[in-house]
Chain A
Amino acid sequence: MNLPNELRKAVPPLGDTEPRQDLWPRMLLRLDRAPRRVQWLDWALAVLLLASFFVFPQAVLGFFYQM
């Protein structure tokens, strides 16, 4: 018995099958579900800002005024 031939008859090749619908909308949902990662630079800026509040406490007022 030619096993590959018989296998192809038992489990036929799928050929040029396509997704049942456009998957881009699902991709967008997947992207939205992804946890947002905070970049190291953002963390560094936050730490720098907090440190500056300790050194120059009066800067807190100026900061919130600017916000």
Chain B
Amino acid sequence: MELLERFAADDMDAFETLFRQFQRDVYRWIVRIVRDPAAAEDLTVETFWRIYRARARFDPRREFAPWARRIATNLALDHLRTAPSETELNEDCAGESPSDPAARHGVRDGLRRAFRRLPPKLRAAATLALIEEESQAVIAEALGISITAVKGRLFRAVRLLRRSLKQMGVES
């Protein structure tokens, strides 16, 4: 029996194999959205818990990675919604060192603050498309929306970033 069929049939060894095969990909996807390694690890475990719980409903003919990404994205968005003040850019994920004057006072500092204030849905789309340069098709699938909707979110995110910069008095 194939690995995915065994997983759907409640085989724990198959689940462990899938976990070990995909934990890095799932973690990498989540940390790109939440930009907090500790939270991303928790959310990775939670993603696989939900995957395990839904094993009976999983169709082994489907691909595992997009399904896992979709669940991971929902959890990451929930995290951004419920912990907005805690999802300040982690030191490991922030930009230049504090000694860089441009990072402290310039456009980049303003951009970083404006980015943190984006609504979660726009922030996730902006992170994945503009920063991590993921394909819009993959983002659309993970967010459960169309490519046109992804483009719409990116347009709104950029417009909000420009507006925030303008309010901060930073020329964009």
Contacts and interface: CB of A to CB of B under 8 A. Distances in A.
Interface of A: 1, 3-4, 6-14, 16-20, 22-24, 26-27, 30-31, 34
A8 B112 CA distance: 10
Interface residues of B, number: 43
Given A7-B115, A18-B27, A1 B37 contact: no
A3 B126 CA distance: 11
15 contacts: A3-B162, A10-B95, A11-B115, A12-B131, A14-B31, A14-B32, A19-B23, A19-B27, A19-B37, A20-B41, A27-B48, A30-B48, A31-B52, A34-B49, A34-B53
B24 A4 contact: no
Contacts of B48: 23, 27, 30
Contacts, number: 97
Contacts of A11: 35, 89, 93-95, 111-112, 115, 127, 131
B59 interface: no
Contacts of A24: 16, 19-20, 23
A20 B37 contact: yes
Contacts of B162: 3
Contacts of A23: 19, 23, 27, 41, 44-45, 48
Given A1-B171, A27-B48, 17 more contacts: A3-B111, A6-B107, A10-B103, A10-B108, A10-B109, A11-B93, A11-B111, A13-B32, A13-B132, A17-B28, A17-B31, A18-B27, A19-B23, A22-B23, A24-B20, A26-B41, A30-B45
A19 B38 CA distance: 9
B94 to A, nearest CB: 7
Nearest to B103: A10
B11 to A, nearest CB: 14
Nearest to B23: A23
